[in-house]
Amino acid sequence: MTAPVLVGVDGSAGSIAAAHWAADEAARRDAPLRLVHAWPWLTDGRAAFADEDALPEAAQRMLAEAAEAVRSRRPGLVVHTDVVLDAAVDGLVAAAGDAGLLVLGSRGLGGFAGLLLGSVGMATAARSTVPVVVVRRAEDHEEGRKEPEGSEEPAGAGAEVLVGVDTRAPDDSVLAFAFREAELRGARLRAVHGWDLPPAFGTVGFVPTPPELAGLEELEAKGLALALAGWREQYPGTEVVEEVRVGAARALVEASATADLVVLGRRRRPHDLGPRLGRVAHAVLHHAHAPVAVVPHD
């Protein structure tokens, strides 16, 4: 059986948008959809005055309404609901253990409009053992990207999946996820490698001439082509566009304006303060114009 697509739902407009996006993804994967509420995840404050024993029941009603909304657009989709009685991040990470994908809304019932997600979403993306997709509604972005709540129509022509590629250490998990998502959507894959001048250049005050800069860019482009060569052979039906740009985070944020999905990697590296996102993933999650998938890898 195909691993389910799991989505965190708290009743907010952002989480409902994420549920619709997740439903479309589940349909593409021919997988069931699981709606999960990790109580007391992003409650609106009324829970403090409610009977504790009644809270799971209220959460079940909220999930049932969300499931009905999803089924109304995807009547053939298998949808399950579940209340996890655990802290927000712990509950979502544990619930996603057997899922193929975890989907979160950009913001819950609180938060800052200018940011893609809050501390719960950020911590979940940093700790999850499965890929996490963060979905932003159009009205949550000042430039008004198209509404990602989902559509029963296939992505088709014009669809694009954007993947950030580290040519120094390209990871198979990230590229496999990106190529598969492009194939599922019938979309073009845009592979972007953001690069910077070596720090030593600034230390010694060296400024490359335009021909020298072009030569460095050519080397970066060759590295990107090499990283993608094997994957192009595995997915001959997928159109691939390769780009090298200066500045990894900025390059991905700018390129996300025309993308349907952005794919990034996150290393499962130990840290004294616990699991954390790298600076590029952190910046893109906060500022991207499209849904962002964070894929954990070694």
Least confident of 74-78, 253-257, 279-283: 279-283
Q: Where are the domains of the chain?
A: 5-140, 160-297
- Domain boundaries 160-297, CATH class: alpha beta
Looking at residue 271, what is its pLDDT? 53
Quote the CA–CA distance of 24 and 258 in Å, as a whole number: 19
Looking at residue 201, what is its pLDDT? 59
Q: Evaluate if residue 70 carries a pLDDT over 60.
A: yes
Looking at residue 42, what is its pLDDT? 42
Q: Give the chain's mean pLDDT.
A: 83
Looking at residue 198, what is its pLDDT? 64
Q: Evaluate if residue 150 carries a pLDDT over 80.
A: no
Quote the CA–CA distance of 36 and 40 in Å, as a whole number: 12
Give bridge partners of residue 84 from the DSSP assignment.
38
Asked if 13 and 60 touch (Cβ cutoff 8 Å), the reply is: no
The predicted-structure confidence for 30-61, as pLDDT tens digits, reads as follows 999 999 998 754 444 444 445 556 667 888 89
Phi, psi of 98 (to 5 degrees): -110, 15
Least confident of 114-123, 140-149, 178-187: 140-149
Quote the CA–CA distance of 266 and 260 in Å, as a whole number: 20
5-140 shares its CATH topology with 160-297: yes
CATH of the domain spanning 5-140: 3.40.50.620
Asked if 297 and 267 touch (Cβ cutoff 8 Å), the reply is: yes
Mean pLDDT of 223-244: 96
